Structure 1
């Protein structure tokens, strides 16, 4: 498959895709030394800096490896499945179990570390959840997840925040389905409001044990629904 010149749009992404296809389709088997940057740049019709960035992306995907003084070599032809892809195919109950561990600890940390700005954000998120009660299930679930995300953010740990953000799409899909299948909002358009209000109050008051216990009980109840659905 010839490389071919690229169109002037996101060139790094295009270069990465073209080179990835060469590797995954077997044009460059494992152990092959790739052409030099100048040769690749000429074949693709881009600058050396673009090729360099594309090679970094391929190295990050585990397909190539630079060897000092020798060049860049193909070390794999299959792209390792990334974390978001694994989450997408994971059982929602498995994701939820991990969510409980992450969020319960995050709630305890949030109670110790919350700032006045964090508290204001939590109170607004709680109010937004209440307002979303008059909307459809998807909007309500989005508001619910936003409140939980605010609790995690109040823990002040960017790794926890990023981890929850990775979970969020899978959680959203599972929770919307759960609410619809079980009719959880048929009789109460704002289920769990009192519990969430208690959670926000515990974080605001700096009571980490209470915050963790409240969140643990709430998430365990949802997990039971997931197992039974």
Structure 2
């Protein structure tokens, strides 16, 4: 995969969502209006009913539509709170690193100032788990690593940052699959995690931010 290729491939559901969101943005349906049925949308979009159903569930989760059991789907809003996240599925490795630096580095700087003893206990536990998996199965390690980084961001005690990071974690996982595909994995890369946690524990935001930047840009 080249650096110019998207990190996450677009699924049929993603493509259906794009078409449905476009229709909503264009005002095809008014707020409160009943949307076409699944068979009608399936025929219009040229995709299966199952794909339409999954896309509608995503729209309902994001608050754009309301699915009323036995009655159909109704448009609730023309403003998609998840719309800003759609570009993430087209991120390249370089773009993911830029976005991660803007979001995660600053969040970890705040975490170093605001972390609690409870935060530190959870972080040490997450780091021990990921340490045991670092040289093993890649997917198991990525899951454990994302738990550690999510807890770091959560230690900033800013719900908006935590929510954004949850959306962005899929892109980070895709980035890790590229950067950690080497074998054997370099221990020095993992050791940066320990140093990062130490900086947070010592409430040293500048060192924590510096180590976070270094970790993000490790090959």
CA deviation vs aligned residue, 1:18-71 (integer Å, no higher than 9, x gap): xx97x949xxx958878x87xx59x9xxxxx947982214x3359xxxxxxxxx
TM-score (norm 1): 0.62
Aligned to 1:164: 165
**Does the 8 A contact of 2:108 with 2:208 survive in 1?**
yes
Shift of 1:158: 0.8
Q: Which runs of 5+ in 2 are unaligned?
A: 1-15, 38-66
Q: 1:209 to 1:136 in 2, by over 3 A?
A: same
Hey, what's the Cα distance between the residues in 2 that align with 1:84 and 1:194? 31
Q: Could you say which structure has the larger radius of gyration? A: 1
Q: 1:32 to 1:158 in 2, by over 3 A?
A: closer
Aligned to 2:207: 210
Shift of 1:102: 1.3
Instruction: Give RMSD over aligned pairs.
Output: 3.6
Shift of 1:134: 4.4
TM superposition outliers: structure 1 runs of 4+ over 6 Å: 31-34
Q: 1:91 to 1:208 in 2, by over 3 A?
A: same
Of the two structures, which has the highest relative contact order with CA contacts closer than 8 Å and spacing of 6 or more?
Answer: 2
Aligned to 1:186: 184
Q: 1:187 to 1:135 in 2, by over 3 A?
A: closer
**Does the 8 A contact of 2:112 with 2:202 survive in 1?**
yes
Hey, what's the Cα distance between the residues in 2 that align with 1:129 and 1:97? 24
Aligned mate of 2:79, from 45, 51, 60: 60
Q: How many residues align?
A: 170
Give the secondary structure class of the aligned counterpart of 1:192. helix
Aligned to 1:93: 94
TM-score (norm 2): 0.64
Q: 1:145 to 1:54 in 2, by over 3 A?
A: same
What are the residue-to-residue correspondences of 1:1-229 with 2, within 5 Å?
Answer: 24=23, 50=68, 54-57=74-77, 59-61=78-80, 82-180=83-181, 183=182, 185-186=183-184, 188=186, 190-220=187-217, 222=218, 225=219
Give the secondary structure class of the aligned counterpart of 2:160. helix
Shift of 1:143: 1.7
**Does the 8 A contact of 1:110 with 1:203 survive in 2?**
yes
Q: Which runs of 5+ in 1 are unaligned?
A: 1-16, 44-48, 63-80
Aligned to 2:62: none
